[in-house]
Amino acid sequence: MATNLGGLTATGTVRVHRLVRGFGSRAVLDGFDLEIGAGEFVALLGRSGSGKSTLLRALAGLDSDVDGSGVIEVPEKSSVVFQDARLLPWQRVLDNVVLGLRGSNAHERGRAALAEVGLAGRENAWPNELSGGEQQRVALARALVSEPELLLADEPFGALDALTRLRMHDLLRELYARHRPTVLLVTHDVDEAVTLADRVLLLDSGRIAVDLTIDLPAQRSHRQPQFLAYRETLLRALGVNHSEG
């Protein structure tokens, strides 16, 4: 049973102190510390198996079956988006979006959220009538409709084709600029991290090996020399050869 000795932060900040999470005798995170300021957009990179999802699930409170200890403080209102949209197939799109909402204006808010992700007019569609990218838009609308202070995203664009992924990057930056939640985005894609985040963390052997502030304007191009420099720093830290990356 994971023990969270921490509490809820009011301001959108995230604080993790001496977090231990493991499976059987193996500790994936062993005394892990992290602080994220309110409204920061942080990307978490790391090799496969480095513990990215383990950390995200701990922050989301989804790991009650995992051994562990430590302090986790997260905002009261948080939402999670996964690689697959996880929509209920027997509920129409709008009903999926408002699933966790209470209040008489839930449908109105759901419609507004769908419009924000570019799906106005698709409220009555069934999930299987939407493309993979559209389903992820619904998942984003569902995550944001409750106006969370923290958005946790685990490889949300990992299953999408390259062009759709680029469109989703634009959409996520737009939504972030408008709502300013604190964001923790798990990704294995260095370009995605540098394109989207203002701070990139690299997780290696259960600790933060790199903590890089991305000092670039909101409009970013892969051709900017500084973009390429950040990319190279991160690829090198990941141990990826330039020609592979």
Ligand X SMILES: Nc1ncnc2c1ncn2[C@@H]1O[C@H](COP(=O)(O)OP(=O)(O)OP(=O)(O)O)[C@@H](O)[C@H]1O
Which parts of this chain interact with ligand X (CB under 6 A)?
23, 28, 46, 48-54, 188
**How near is the Cβ of 158 to ligand X at its closest, in Å?**
9
Token representation of residue 159: 């299953």
**How near is the Cβ of 106 to ligand X at its closest, in Å?**
33
Instruction: Please report the sign of the dihedral spanned by the C-alpha atoms of residue 96, residue 100, residue 104, residue 109.
Output: negative
**How near is the Cβ of 66 to ligand X at its closest, in Å?**
7
27-31: long-range pairs with CB below 8 Å, 24+: 27/206, 28/54, 28/206, 29/54, 29/55, 29/58, 29/68, 29/206, 30/206, 31/70
Nearest CA among 147, 197, 184 for reference residue 56: 184
**How near is the Cβ of 109 to ligand X at its closest, in Å?**
32
Residue with tokens 């989301």: 60
Based on its alpha-carbon atoms, the radius of gyration of the chain, rounded to whole angstroms, reads: 18
**Overall residue count recorded for the chain in this entry:** 245
**How near is the Cβ of 221 to ligand X at its closest, in Å?**
27
Nearer residue to ligand X within complex by CB, 98 or 212:
212
Q: Would you tell me how many other CB atoms lie within 10 Å of the CB of residue 190?
A: 22
Nearer residue to ligand X within complex by CB, 54 or 78:
54
Nearer residue to ligand X within complex by CB, 53 or 79:
53
Nearer residue to ligand X within complex by CB, 93 or 202:
202
Nearer residue to ligand X within complex by CB, 49 or 225:
49
